Structure 1
Amino acid sequence: MTVADREVITRHFVQVADRTVHYRHAGKGQPVVLIHQSPKSSAELEPFMRQLAPHFSVFAPDTPGYGLSAPLADTKATIDDFVDALIALLDALSLDAPVVFGSHSGAIFGVRLAARYPERVSGLVANGILINDQATRDELVAHYFPQFPPSRTGEHLAGVWSRIRDQHCYYPWFKQSPEYRIHWPASVEDMHESALEILMAGEHYQTGYRAVLDYDISPDVSALSVPAMLIVAKPDALVHYVPHYPPLPANVSVTITEDYPAIPQKTIAFIYERCANVSLPADPVAKHSHPERQFIRAGKIGLYCEFSGDPQATPVLVVHDLFQSVRQCRELISDLSENHFVIAPDLPGHGYTAGEPLSAAETAKTLVTLIETLKTPHIELVFVGRSGYLAGEFARYKPQGVQTDVLFVPDHAGIALGKLHFDDDTDVALAKAPDLTPESSGAHFQTAWYYLRDSYLFSPWYRREEACISQGRGELTVSELQIALLDLMAGWKSGNLLLDAVR
């Protein structure tokens, strides 16, 4: 395996007790587990993974309730509940004593993990910890994580955006006076991703925060018995806690770097110099495929796929509408799975399938590669809504030796394999989503919200005229709008690019 191969990040699901856990993996060799900060996900650690992967076998799970990992049952779970969930994941992956790296709240999880289960950790790197007295912890728990329940007016979106902006200007973010000013640099795109993580976590976004802010870390830091490095970059707001670290044992060192890029190099050096090289079980990933949710490699793309029904039944591939995802096809999937084995991928650049937008031809080729990977001699296809425009491209590249039938293409387009034609209302069929490029004001969230509402009120959505009122079509519920918003934010670039191809 080459270095380039080892730097490829794959994504997986594993069942841990009654919870589904999502994690990323890259590399080969000594196991290293990365714990992200709340309320983000392991996606933020991908650049870090690529730097460690030439040296180690790197695992980065989404902690409970974040990313694609199921939450803990208790929304007021303690730090020990999170640590026990991490131990259960290590058991599921047969990881006996990996090196653990945690960032911010992930670092605090790492400290508690190493303190409670030192025999399960061969080394600890904690990137940014905070030390607070009981009164400060009580204040943070009371004010740090307001709820943002979805509202039909979209006002919760402005609340989330303001919360993200403020945390880059003040610490703690809710104390907005000069003595609490900080400068935590972040691009508009970074703030956009942070806002999406909060919206995706929903009511569970606060759980991980509360668990770490309600925990007195000092006694555990002073008692660490494993090789440990407390590291923080000078631009990090948490560097101000270094003078407040408690007395440390000889096995714990403190490193302050000039900037963030030095942290991976310092981490690699620490692991080589101070951590025992624990062997990795053979092929720890392949034996843990989840039966209902998987990332399937289709060429260079890891397609998120859901599976439903009897694997012995006739397979059917469901291709969701543009700007949407598998999540908005669940009713259709349920109906089809009564008599079929349903495979439902998120298209490239949509839903949980990451990546840059692809052309219609490349998207069709990706679906063909997926079908070839599934190794089925016959498969039926369902194109939903505007994804029907891909059927013509699919016909050009359909897999050799595999019988494919298009079953159903609802809504805007009439499609036959090898032939594409539009209905009379081309404006409706090809109405693109608005430009949702992130703005520093957060206005792109409101634009997306009202685009979705108008899509149900008017046809086409941009013509708010009496003649264009949608007849007999109610709006989505607020919770459905929230899901549609997250899907739209993920897929608007790809969806518009695909519509451009047929305009």
Structure 2
Amino acid sequence: MSEVLQTIVRLSHGGHIRLQVQGSGPVVVLCHESPRSSAALLRLAGHLAQNFTCVMMDTPGFGYSDPLPLAQPEIADFALVVLELVDRLDLGPVPIYGAHTGAAIAVEAAVQSPDSVSAVILDGYAIFNETERDALLAHYLPPFLPTLDGTHVAWLWSRVRDQFTVFPWNQLGDGSRLGYGPPKLDHHHAVVTDFLLAGDAYRAAYAAAFRYNHFEPLERVQRPVFIATREDDMLFEHMERARGLSEHVSLTAMTSDRGEWASTMKRLVSENAGYTLLDARAIIDRASSLQGSKRLIETSAGPVAVRIDGDGSPVVLLHDMPGGSDELRGVAARLGRSHRAVRISLPGVDVYPAAPNTLDTVRDLAAIIAEVIGKLGVQDAPVIAIGASVAIATELPGVSKLIVVDPWTQISAASSDMVPDISPRWDGAHLSAAFWWARDYDLFKPWHDRENQKGRAIGNDLSAERLHNRFRSIVVAGDHGLKMARNLYRCDAAGNLEASGGGIDIVVFDGDPDCDALASWAIGCVGEDHVHRVSRQTVPLAQMLKGLLA
């Protein structure tokens, strides 16, 4: 099977969109359903990639795409994003495949710019009547906001399970029960992961699809429209509502057999293929000129997420485990006023699907980070390593200036044995375990030593958003992240620090229960003059880092 390549492009309005691209041949654009990401399209792309180049976009607000900067975006606004990508990458005219919400986006794109679209292939097309639409808008899309008590985590698992039990998901009862399914546990978990990536932004595209007048574009469209729906799709009965609307619209009913589904979609794409012949690499190369501050860097272990703040001299930031680069957003924003703060996610964290399970040692991890640093051209930049990432930073070649912040793992030998099991379970306990790992990390030091007198200094404002970002990173990284955490926790970085010959400062958090012990350890590695105490809060930490970088 051909390789899936990924990139992030910056749109004309300043937002970023993730693309996944696979295959070679005539181009086809694939648009996913809500609340998924382009990860939901990989199965279809795998069937098409031998003959076609599949361009899969995370709809704005989902996956790794930024939400649209609109208070109430409509389907027409999402369609404009697809058309901008087709235009700026010079792909058209192309067939556009869309599933559910993606189907509405696809047909609207054909209405807006028929010269860019050769045909539209709709895998489940919603046509709600007024009563159905009003009920969905009123009850189907409750806010999904982080909480400190984890109630949003329990709600999410229940929401996804109910989605595969009844339609609408919020009407549990015999009259709403689906006549098929549910899918396997790993599929439930994949939907949860995409839901976490979207967060509360999931409501925007969903609501736009519910408000959309699905009849009207089918009457106006001047390109072939193929509505092909499986009998185990909740929108199967909707297909008949489109019968006779236009001579351009064809209907195809399919059984639940996935082989029939794949062959039908392949036939429709083949019969309506455009004339642009490209492979995945060529499209990724074209997209390289559209990069912004949010990027995916290709490495030998898969894509690594990078975020860049500011335009000054570069400084590289590596986050702790558990955690992700979002936790460094506040520090990076302040450093970005005088530097170019480059936040590099550890391999397999903050990007989904996760990197292949080939990173067996800390040295392997360091090699991937060095690869990213090289591709970004910041080899001479100072490095700031937070927490467990000290193990990686001390293995990086040629680092002239290293600042280690809170290397707590170096005096917490038991932590590698306390990493929780987050293997998916039908009762959702894996999400609860991930949440409490993230929450206890903010309250105790180390997180598994849950004694109140050893609690961290957290002030009076434990952030639900920060906690949720860490929880999300744990879930996204999955088993790969657990393995990486255990490796980092077991690593003794003292020898590398002592042998460095200078250029290293260590910062410890005043008020943390391990502050004195960690300071003593740090003095033994780099000397008292290079050990500094500071509050864990963002502003004083950023100010100290700026001073050490000066």
Q: TM tier, shorter chain?
A: 0.7 to 0.9
Q: Residues 384 and 403 of structure 2 are in contact (CA less than 8 Å); yes or no, is this contact kept in structure 1? A: yes
- Structure 1 pair 408/110, CA: closer, same or farther in 2 (3 Å)? same
> Which residue matches 2:10?
14
1:101 offset after TM fit, Å?
A: 0.3
**1:47 aligns to what SS in structure 2?**
helix
- Structure 1 pair 367/74, CA: closer, same or farther in 2 (3 Å)? closer
Q: Residues 257 and 263 of structure 1 are in contact (CA less than 8 Å); yes or no, is this contact kept in structure 2? A: yes
> Which residue matches 2:542?
none
> Which residue matches 1:412?
407
Q: Distance in 2 between matches of 1:466 and 1:163?
A: 34
* TM-score normalised by L of structure 2: 0.80
Q: What 5-or-longer segments of structure 2 have no aligned partner?
A: 491-550
Q: How does 1:174-189 map to 2 (within 5 A)?
A: 174-182=170-178, 183-189=180-186
Are positions 1:206 and 2:203 aligned together? yes
Q: Tell which deviates more after alignment, 269-278 or 59-68.
A: 269-278
Q: Structure 1 counterpart of 2:327, which letter?
A: Q
Deviations 1:189-221 (A, max 9, x none): 222232233333233211111111222312433
Q: How does 1:33-52 map to 2 (within 5 A)?
A: 33-52=29-48
- Structure 1 pair 83/499, CA: closer, same or farther in 2 (3 Å)? closer
Q: Residues 124 and 228 of structure 1 are in contact (CA less than 8 Å); yes or no, is this contact kept in structure 2? A: yes
Match of 2:62 among 66, 69, 73: 66
1:170 offset after TM fit, Å?
A: 0.8
Q: Residues 122 and 275 of structure 1 are in contact (CA less than 8 Å); yes or no, is this contact kept in structure 2? A: yes
Match of 2:231 among 227, 230, 234: 234
Q: How does 1:240-319 map to 2 (within 5 A)?
A: 240-258=237-255, 259-278=257-276, 285-310=286-311, 313=313, 315-319=314-318
Identity of aligned residues (%): 27
Q: Tell which deviates more after alignment, 404-413 or 61-70.
A: 404-413
1:477 offset after TM fit, Å?
A: 0.8
Q: Tell which deviates more after alignment, 368-377 or 253-262.
A: 368-377
Match of 2:426 among 440, 465, 486: 440
Q: Structure 2 counterpart of 1:296, which letter?
A: I
Q: Distance in 2 between matches of 1:355 and 1:377?
A: 23
Q: Distance in 1 between matches of 2:134 and 2:309?
A: 46
- Structure 1 pair 73/410, CA: closer, same or farther in 2 (3 Å)? closer
Q: Structure 1 counterpart of 2:387, which letter?
A: G
Q: Tell which deviates more after alignment, 68-77 or 150-159.
A: 68-77
- Structure 1 pair 466/375, CA: closer, same or farther in 2 (3 Å)? closer
> Which residue matches 2:355?
355
1:343 offset after TM fit, Å?
A: 3.0
Q: Distance in 2 between matches of 1:495 and 1:411?
A: 20
- Structure 1 pair 52/288, CA: closer, same or farther in 2 (3 Å)? farther
- Structure 1 pair 472/379, CA: closer, same or farther in 2 (3 Å)? closer
Match of 1:103 among 89, 99, 106: 99
Q: Distance in 2 between matches of 1:82 and 1:176?
A: 31
- Structure 1 pair 108/374, CA: closer, same or farther in 2 (3 Å)? closer
1:135 offset after TM fit, Å?
A: 1.8
Are positions 1:462 and 2:457 aligned together? no
1:229 offset after TM fit, Å?
A: 1.7
Q: Residues 298 and 373 of structure 1 are in contact (CA less than 8 Å); yes or no, is this contact kept in structure 2? A: no
Deviations 1:353-399 (A, max 9, x none): 6224422232122123223434566343332111112245x25xx3x
- Structure 1 pair 204/472, CA: closer, same or farther in 2 (3 Å)? closer
1:169 offset after TM fit, Å?
A: 0.9
Deviations 1:290-347 (A, max 9, x none): 1322211222422111233446x3x433221122121112233345445544432211
Q: Which consecutive segments of 4 or more residues in structure 1 shift more than 6 A? A: none
Q: Distance in 1 between matches of 2:288 and 2:199?
A: 31
Q: How does 1:96-245 map to 2 (within 5 A)?
A: 96-182=92-178, 183-245=180-242
Q: Residues 114 and 222 of structure 2 are in contact (CA less than 8 Å); yes or no, is this contact kept in structure 1? A: yes
Match of 2:462 among 471, 476, 496: 476
Aligned residues: 481
> Which residue matches 1:365?
367
> Which residue matches 1:418?
none
Q: Distance in 2 between matches of 1:243 and 1:461?
A: 56
Q: What 5-or-longer segments of structure 1 have no aligned partner?
A: 415-421
Q: Distance in 1 between matches of 2:339 and 2:204?
A: 39
1:127 offset after TM fit, Å?
A: 0.2
Q: Residues 320 and 387 of structure 2 are in contact (CA less than 8 Å); yes or no, is this contact kept in structure 1? A: yes
> Which residue matches 1:346?
345
Are positions 1:382 and 2:384 aligned together? yes
Q: Distance in 2 between matches of 1:67 and 1:289?
A: 19
- Structure 1 pair 194/75, CA: closer, same or farther in 2 (3 Å)? farther
Match of 2:413 among 414, 418, 426: 426
Q: Structure 2 counterpart of 1:426, which letter?
A: A
Q: Structure 2 counterpart of 1:230, which letter?
A: I
